[in-house]
Amino acid sequence: MRYRAASDRSLLVSFGPEIPEEISETNRLLVENLTRRLVAARPRGILNVHPAYASVLVVFDPLTLDHRGVQHLCESTGDVPASEPRTVEIPVHYGGERGPDLADVARHTRMTPEEVVRLHSGADYVVHFLGFSPGFPYLGGLPESIATPRLSSPRVRVPAGSVAIGGGQTGVYPADSPGGWRIIGWTPIRLFDPAADPPALLTMGSRVRFEPA
């Protein structure tokens, strides 16, 4: 474990080097554990916890804590039991107007669109973390054979519910937002609802399956 000051009010806790190969089940569990402990304990002065693939950024109030104190909290906060991971099935309308990049993904991977859909919906995914924007799940488990580079220029607006592939990752956009991933389909499922408790449908460790609708 490596601790670095990312700013005067945040500490970056890393479980491995900053390279794509560090996306692993081991690191996912370490990140989930630290996030779960800090979120459950809510130590005084800890403002936010931003998990990622192999690191956790801990944002704190510098009038209450310093980097050393936050490091101590990361090491000493007691474990809490993890809840049983849920499996969430997400129905997807692949292709068509709401999946405008399916053909491009098929071309890039030298498959038919049907094969891309079969592979995308046949895999088991796990939520590494929610990040970027409210409720946005970073999923692991995309078959390597359908990995496709991001668009060279991001779209100004990706509609909420868009299911997309970006490099070796796949995900669902919870809200209208800019985005550079390739949109292969659309789901009516709402991933984020501020009035719901919890507001995000998926949590770290949730299992996800995409079902062709």
Partner 1 sequence: MTRSPGRIHVLQPGFQSTVQDLGRPGYGHLGISASGAADPLSLRIGNLLVGNPETAAAIEMTLTGGSFEFACDTVVGLAGSDFGVPLWKSFEVKAGQVLACGPARTGARCYLCVRGGIDVPPVLGSRSTQLMAGLGGAALKAGDVLPIGIPEAACQPPHFGPRLLHSTAPGRAIRVTAGPQSERFSGGFYQSAFLVSRHSNRMGLRLEGPCVEHRERGRLLTEGAALGAIQVPPDGQPIILFVEHQTTGGYPKIANVIAADLHLLGQLRPRDEVRFELVTMERARTLLARQEYYVRLSRNGTRKAHLS
* 4 touches partner 1 by CB under 8 A: yes
C-alpha pair distances (Å), 27 with each of 55, 78, 184: 8, 19, 28
Closest contact distance (angstroms) between CB of 195 and partner 1 is 8
CA nearest 169: which of 158, 179, 155? 179
> Is residue 87 a contact point for partner 1 (CB under 8 A)?
no
Pick 65 or 117: Cβ nearer partner 1? 65
Interacting residue with partner 1 among 129, 181, 186, 210 (CB under 8 A) = 129
Choose which of 96, 122, 188, 198 interacts with partner 1 (CB under 8 A).
198
Total residues in contact with partner 1, by rule CB under 8 A:
51
Note whether 59 binds partner 1 by CB under 8 A.
yes
Contact yes or no for 177/56 (Cβ under 8 A): no
Selected binder of partner 1 within 146, 204, 206, 208 (CB under 8 A): 204
Determine, following the binding rule CB under 8 A, whether residue 39 of this chain makes contact with partner 1. yes
Backbone region of residue 135 per phi and psi (left: phi > 0; alpha: psi in -120 to 50; beta: other values): left
Pair of tokens at residue 208: 């996800």
Among 30, 37, 52, 90, binds partner 1 (CB under 8 A): 52
By CB under 8 A, tell whether 135 contacts partner 1: yes
Parallel, antiparallel or unpaired: strands 87-94 and 207-212: parallel
Site membership for partner 1, residue 189 (CB under 8 A) = no
Task: With H, G, I as helix, E, B as strand and everything else as coil, classify residue 72.
Answer: helix
Is the N-terminal amide bond of 198 cis, ω within 30° of 0? yes
Spatial contact of 132 and 192, defined as CB atoms under 8 Å apart = no
Contact status: 131 vs partner 1 (CB under 8 A): yes
CA distance 135 to 179: 15
Tell me which residues touch partner 1 (CB under 8 A): 4-10, 12, 14, 18-20, 22-23, 35, 39, 42, 47-57, 59, 62-63, 66-67, 129-136, 138, 175, 177, 192, 194-195, 198-200, 204
